[in-house]
């Protein structure tokens, strides 16, 4: 075997090795990106990593990546839908709210003032102050529904009719959309009847002459 032949053999061996390792690398890359896609479909996958792997997978298989991306986009939306529909599903019979009247007798306007913090992002309560996202709630107890000067109520609220009695307030606060279908008050409702009674007791104080609570 002369030198030239030796070079040819060595070349053939190197070429074979290159082929073997090259193929191995490609196979590993493929299976790696696949397994990443599978793992990423599980909940709790980090969105950034998921997007990255979805992009990687796109090079290998367009549809797997598409499925991954859809799952990513779908997850938060689904979560929201669940959160929004859950309160409606477990809300007790909305109309009436008579049980809250019994609770009002021992309700605490002070506690209600604290709980009202969840309403403050949308409602002001100071006399004469301009409404914000929702109508000013000064004097809301026994006020005709949808009547605060200058506030643009939904058609549904304008059409509801009647006044904000304790019972009606209770029904509305428990499940706003259940009581006024089409209201633009985006609030899931107060789930705890005691807290609800406290908030209503607080609302009753927001008047020149506070509305007396039922005894």
Binding footprint of ligand HEC on the chain (CB under 6 A) = 118-119, 121-123, 133-135, 137, 140, 145-146, 148, 153-154, 156-157, 164, 169, 173, 180, 183-187, 190, 199
Q: How far apart are CB 68 and ligand HEC at their closest, in Å?
A: 34
Query: What does the alpha-carbon distance between residue 59 and residue 179 come to, in Å, rounded to a whole number?
Result: 52
**Closer CB to ligand HEC, residue 8 or residue 120?**
120
Least Å from the CB of residue 140 to ligand HEC: 5
Helices 62-90 and 47-60, interaxial angle, to 10°? 140
Tokens in use for 167? Answer: 């019972």
Cβ 73 to ligand HEC shortest distance, Å = 25
Decide whether 62 or 152 has the Cβ nearer to ligand HEC: 152
State the nearest-atom distance from the C-beta of 97 to ligand HEC, in Å: 12
2-17: b (≥16 Cβ within 10 Å) or e: eeeeeeeeeeeeeeee
Nearer to ligand HEC, 57 or 140 (CB): 140
- Nearer Cβ to ligand HEC, position 40 or 116? 116
d(CA 49, CA 12): 41
Best CA proximity match to 203, nearest among 97, 134, 123: 123
């Amino acid at each position: 075997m002369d030198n030239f032949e030796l070079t040819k053999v060595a070349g053939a061996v190197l070429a074979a090795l290159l082929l073997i390792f090259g193929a191995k690398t490609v196979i590993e890359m493929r299976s790696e990106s696949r397994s990443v896609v599978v793992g990423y479909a599980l909940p709790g996958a980090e969105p950034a990593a998921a997007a990255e792997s979805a992009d990687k997978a796109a090079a290998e298989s367009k549809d797997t990546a598409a499925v991954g991306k859809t799952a990513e986009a779908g997850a938060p939306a689904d979560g929201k839908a669940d959160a929004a529909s859950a309160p409606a599903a477990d809300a007790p019979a909305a109309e009436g709210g008579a049980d809250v009247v019994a609770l009002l007798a021992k309700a605490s306007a002070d506690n209600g003032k604290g709980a009202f913090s969840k309403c403050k992002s949308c409602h002001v309560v100071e006399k004469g102050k301009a409404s914000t996202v929702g109508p000013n709630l000064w004097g809301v107890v026994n006020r005709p529904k949808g009547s605060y000067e200058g506030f643009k109520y939904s058609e549904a609220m304008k059409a509801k009719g009647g006044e904000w009695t304790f019972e009606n307030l209770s029904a509305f606060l428990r499940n706003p959309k259940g009581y006024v279908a089409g209201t633009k008050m985006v609030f899931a409702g107060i789930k705890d009847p005691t807290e609800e009674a406290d908030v209503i007791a607080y609302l009753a104080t927001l008047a020149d002459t506070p509305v007396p609570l039922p005894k």
